[in-house]
Amino acid sequence: GENVEQHPSTLSVQEGDSAVIKCTYSDSASNYFPWYKQELGKGPQLIIDIRSNVGEKKDQRIAVTLNKTAKHFSLHITETQPEDSAVYFCAASNHLSSGSARQLTFGSGTQLTVLP
């Protein structure tokens, strides 16, 4: 089955700096890669996702890049703010039968701390 590795496990940055979180996946059939942000006491919140036919996607301060050949994808947060502090999870999936939701395989998470 799919295996997703995520690095680093913890990341501290100064407010205004950029943060980069990297993930690798094992199954070359995976074709969907979402990123989730989880704040304390809450469930994971989808912040951005990318499909395998796209190399990069950007949404304001957040961007995701995908390298299918190397089987890795990354989350980039620019101009970080204290409210960006949370645990971030990457995930990969290749399952999408008609009318069925994807089964996500998650990375182990990155605790991002933005220092004021």
By the 8 A CB rule, do 34 and 52 touch?
Answer: no
Q: Which residues, other chains included, contact 24 with Cβ-Cβ below 8 Å and sequence gap of 6+?
A: 4, 5, 70, 71, 72
| 51/61 with CB nearer other proteins | 51
- Taking the complex as a whole, the smallest distance from the CB of residue 92 to other proteins amounts, in Å, to 12
Structure tokens belonging to residue 19 = 């943060």
Return the ∠ at Cα 37 (arms to 39 and 42), rounded to 5°.
Answer: 35
User: For other proteins, which residue of 29, 67, 103, 115 counts as binding (CB under 8 A)?
Assistant: 103
By CB under 8 A, is residue 54 in contact with other proteins? Answer: no
Considering only residues 16 through 45, tell me which ones interact with other proteins, judged by CB under 8 A: 32, 34, 36, 41-45
Cβ 7 vs Cβ 25: under 8 Å: no
Provide the terminal-to-terminal Cα distance of the chain, rounded to the nearest Å.
41
CB of residue 91 to other proteins, shortest distance in Å? 8
97 binds other proteins, rule: CB under 8 A? yes
- 53 part of the interface to other proteins, by CB under 8 A: no
Which residues are at the interface with other proteins (CB under 8 A)? Answer: 32, 34, 36, 41-46, 49, 89, 91, 93, 95-97, 99-109
